[in-house]
C-alpha cells in the first residue's frame, strides 16, 4: 500500500502544475459559482446560501452515519437548489487506498471530501494536493474566532493558508466496570488518575488461574490504545517539531511509553495476551471484551457509550479522563477529527465549502452528536444537543476543552510515522527489544522522509 501511495504522490508531482492551472480559482470561474455576497451569511456557523450549480462529494461512512449524511445532503439541496453528486468512498474518503490521489493526478477530483483520518489529510495538504480554502471560507462568512482553539492548528499549514475544515471530533476516555471495581475493593467514585493508580487497579482487577487468563484489568494496546499516537501524547511526547522541521521520536516520554507497555507484556506474557485477545469482537459486537467481562477497563472513544447501550445495556460503567504519568499530559486526549478538504483541481470549490460550513452547523450535526456524543468545533453551543447532565458527555466536554488535548504529529509524514510507531511498539512488546535504539532508528528514518518531501 505504501509503494502505491508513493507512486501516486510521484504522479501527482508530475501533474500538479498542469492541474493547478485549472483549479477553479480564477475570477471568471468564481463568477460562475455565484456572487460571493449571495453565498455569505451572518450565521457564523455556515451560511444558508450556496454557490450555483452542483458539486461532487466523497464521504467514507456507512450505516447510521451514512443515513444521517444523506439526510444532510437532501436538506441542503432542498434549501439551496444545489445538486450534490455524492460518492461513498471508504475507508477514509479515498485517502489511504490511493483513490483520491489517483483522481487528482488524473485531473478528475471531487470538489469536496470528508475524511475520518485527519493525519493523512494534513499530509496531503503539506504535499500540495489540496486547494487553500481561505477565500471560500471568507466568502461564506466564516470567522476563525468562532472555532475552538484546539482545532485551528489542524486547519493550517506552514504557509499560513487554511486547507482543512473540521466538521466534528471524537475524544478518548477511560471506561471502567463499576461492579468489578467494587468486587476488587476499588472505589468507583475514585477512578485512577495516574499511571501508577491505573497499574494498581489493573492488577487488582486481573484474574489469572494457573496459566489461564480469565480477566485482565487493562490492556494498554486495546481499543483506542492501539492508536499510534495516543499513549505517547498522554505521556508528554510531541513527535515532531514544526518550527525546525525535525522528527523527535527518541525522547524520554516515548521511551517511558513503550517501556510501560512492555511491562504489561512481560508481566502477563505477550503471547498469552495475544491468545487471550484473539477471540475478542470489535466495539460494535456483543463479543467485545468489555461487554463479556474479559477486560475491566479500556480506553475508547465517546461513541463507545452507544455501543454499550446497544450490546451490553446491563453493564454498569463509568468514564474518566485517561490517566497520565508525572510530567505527562493530564486530562488529555488525541482528537479523532473528521475534516473536509478540497482536492487540487476541484471545479467548484466555493460550492463545496458552502456545504461544508452548512453541514458543520450544530443544528445540522445535532442528530449525529445525539447518537455518538461527539463534539462540534464551535465555541457556542445549541439546545439541539441533548446530552445535558449525561456523565459521559460531561467528561467528553471536559476533556475536549483541556489545553492538553490536541492533534499529534501535524506533518506531511504523519501516516508513515503512525505505521512506524505501530511496528516499533510490536517489536518492543513481542520481542522485548531496546526501546531507545528502536526510536533512534525510527527517528532517522522518518527524518529522511521529511527531508525528501
Region for 309 from its dihedrals, namely left if φ exceeds 0, alpha if ψ lies in -120 to 50, beta otherwise = alpha
Residues 323, 197, single domain; the answer is yes
Residue 212, beta-bridge partner list: 209
DSSP 249: -
407 located within any domain: no
Based on the fold, state whether residues 166 and 176 are members of the same structural domain. Answer: no
Instruction: Specify whether the CB–CB gap between 337 and 407 falls below 8 A.
Output: yes
> Does the residue 358 lie in any domain?
yes
Q: Does residue 354 share a domain with residue 441? A: no
Alpha carbon distances (Å) from 55 to 109, 113, 250, 351, 355: 11, 11, 45, 7, 10
Residues 126 and 238 reside in one and the same domain: no
Determine, yes or no, domain membership for 4: no
Q: Is 213 helix (H, G, I), strand (E, B) or coil?
A: strand
Q: Locate all alpha helices (DSSP H) within 109-251, ordered by sequence.
A: 118-126, 134-139, 152-155, 178-183, 195-205, 230-235
pLDDT score of 183: 97
> 435-452 vs 414-431: helix axis angle to the nearest 10?
160
Residue 37: per-residue pLDDT? 31
> 79 in helix, strand or coil?
helix
Does 18 fall in a domain? no
Q: Which domain holds residue 320?
A: 172-334+413-452
Sign of CA dihedral 56, 61, 67, 69: negative
Residue 36 lies in a domain: no
pLDDT at 4: 38
Is 87 within a domain?
yes
Q: Could you tell me which of 92, 110, 112 has the C-alpha nearest to residue 102?
A: 110
- Look at residue 452 in the predicted model and tell me its pLDDT: 87
How many Å apart are CA 359 and CA 377, to the nearest integer? 12
Q: What are phi and psi of 266, to 5 degrees?
A: -75, -30
pLDDT at 6: 43
* Tens of pLDDT, residues 239-292: 999 889 999 999 999 999 999 999 999 999 999 999 999 989 999 999 999 999
- The rounded distance, in Å, linking the Cα atoms of 311 and 10 is 46
Instruction: Give 267's contacts (C-beta < 8 A, 6+ positions apart).
Output: none
Same domain, 145 and 251: no
**318 and 193 in a common domain:** yes
* DSSP 8-state class, residue 411: S
Is the same domain home to 344 and 329?
no
345-374 confidence digits (pLDDT tens):
999 999 999 999 999 999 999 989 999 999
What's the total number of domains in the chain?
Answer: 2
Q: How many residues does the chain have?
A: 453
Q: What is the CATH number of the domain that holds 120?
A: 3.40.190.10
Q: Are 351 and 321 in the same domain?
A: no
pLDDT of residue 51: 54
**292 and 425, same domain (yes or no):** yes
Considering the domain architecture, whether residues 301 and 189 belong to the same structural domain is answered as yes
Q: What pLDDT sits at residue 26?
A: 31
Q: What is the pLDDT of residue 211?
A: 85
Per-residue model confidence as pLDDT tens digits over 132-178: 999 999 999 999 999 998 899 999 998 999 999 999 999 999 999 99
Q: How far apart are CA 65 and CA 92, in angstroms?
A: 13
Domain-embedded: residue 2: no
**How, if at all, do strands 297-301 and 317-320 pair?**
unpaired
> Within this chain, do residues 191 and 257 fall inside the same structural domain, yes or no?
yes
**376 closest CA partner among 112, 98, 171:** 171
Residue ranges of the chain with per-residue pLDDT less than 70? 1-52
pLDDT reported for residue 52: 60
For residue 258, the Cα-to-chain-centroid distance in whole angstroms is 22
Cell of 4: 502505491
Cell of 226: 492501539
Neighbours of 184 (CB within 10 A): 16
Same domain, 287 and 430: yes
Q: Is 356 a domain residue?
A: yes
Amino acid at each position: 500500500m505504501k509503494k502505491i501511495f508513493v507512486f501516486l504522490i510521484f504522479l501527482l508531482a508530475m501533474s500538479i502544475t498542469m492541474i493547478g492551472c485549472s483549479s477553479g480559482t480564477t475570477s471568471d470561474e468564481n463568477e460562475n459559482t455565484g456572487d460571493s455576497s449571495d453565498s455569505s451569511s451572518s450565521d457564523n456557523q455556515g451560511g444558508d446560501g450556496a454557490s450555483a450549480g452542483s458539486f461532487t462529494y466523497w464521504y467514507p461512512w456507512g450505516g447510521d452515519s451514512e443515513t444521517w449524511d444523506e439526510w444532510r445532503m437532501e436538506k441542503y439541496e432542498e434549501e439551496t437548489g444545489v445538486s450534490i453528486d455524492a460518492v461513498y468512498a471508504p475507508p477514509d474518503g479515498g485517502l489511504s487506498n490511493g483513490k483520491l490521489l489517483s483522481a487528482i493526478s488524473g485531473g478528475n477530483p471531487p470538489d469536496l471530501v470528508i475524511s475520518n483520518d485527519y493525519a493523512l489529510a494534513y499530509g496531503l495538504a503539506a504535499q500540495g494536493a489540496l486547494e487553500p480554502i481561505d477565500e471560500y471560507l471568507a466568502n461564506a462568512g466564516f470567522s476563525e474566532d468562532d472555532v475552538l482553539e484546539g482545532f485551528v492548528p489542524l486547519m493550517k499549514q506552514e504557509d499560513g493558508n487554511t486547507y482543512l475544515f473540521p466538521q466534528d471530533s471524537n475524544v478518548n476516555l477511560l471506561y471502567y466496570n463499576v461492579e468489578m471495581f467494587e468486587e476488587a475493593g476499588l472505589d468507583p467514585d475514585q477512578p485512577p488518575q495516574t499511571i501508577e493508580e491505573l497499574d494498581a487497579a489493573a492488577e487488582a482487577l486481573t484474574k489469572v488461574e494457573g496459566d489461564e487468563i480469565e480477566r485482565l484489568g487493562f490492556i494498554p494496546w486495546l481499543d483506542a490504545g492501539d492508536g499510534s499516537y495516543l499513549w505517547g501524547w498522554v505521556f508528554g511526547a510531541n513527535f515532531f517539531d514544526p518550527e525546525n522541521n525535525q522528527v523527535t521520536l527518541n525522547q524520554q516520554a516515548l521511551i517511558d511509553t513503550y517501556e510501560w507497555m512492555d511491562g504489561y507484556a512481560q508481566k502477563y506474557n505477550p503471547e498469552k495476551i495475544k491468545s487471550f485477545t484473539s477471540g475478542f469482537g470489535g466495539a460494535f459486537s456483543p463479543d467485545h471484551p468489555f461487554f463479556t467481562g474479559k477486560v475491566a477497563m479500556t480506553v475508547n472513544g465517546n461513541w463507545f457509550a452507544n455501543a454499550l447501550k446497544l450490546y451490553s445495556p446491563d453493564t454498569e460503567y463509568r468514564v474518566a479522563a485517561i490517566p497520565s504519568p508525572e510530567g505527562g499530559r493530564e486530562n488529555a486526549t488525541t482528537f479523532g477529527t473528521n475534516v473536509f478538504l478540497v482536492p487540487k483541481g476541484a471545479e467548484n470549490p466555493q460550492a463545496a465549502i458552502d456545504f461544508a460550513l452548512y453541514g458543520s452547523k450544530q443544528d445540522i450535526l445535532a442528530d449525529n452528536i445525539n447518537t455518538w456524543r461527539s463534539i462540534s468545533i464551535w465555541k457556542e453551543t445549541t439546545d439541539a444537543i441533548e446530552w445535558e447532565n449525561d456523565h459521559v458527555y460531561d467528561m467528553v466536554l471536559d476533556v475536549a476543552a483541556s489545553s492538553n488535548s490536541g492533534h499529534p504529529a501535524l506533518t506531511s509524514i504523519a501516516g508513515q510515522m503512525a505505521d512506524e510507531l505501530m511496528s516499533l511498539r510490536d517489536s518492543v512488546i513481542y520481542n522485548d527489544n531496546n526501546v531507545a535504539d528502536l526510536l533512534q532508528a525510527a527517528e532517522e528514518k522518518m527524518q529522511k522522509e521529511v527531508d525528501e518531501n
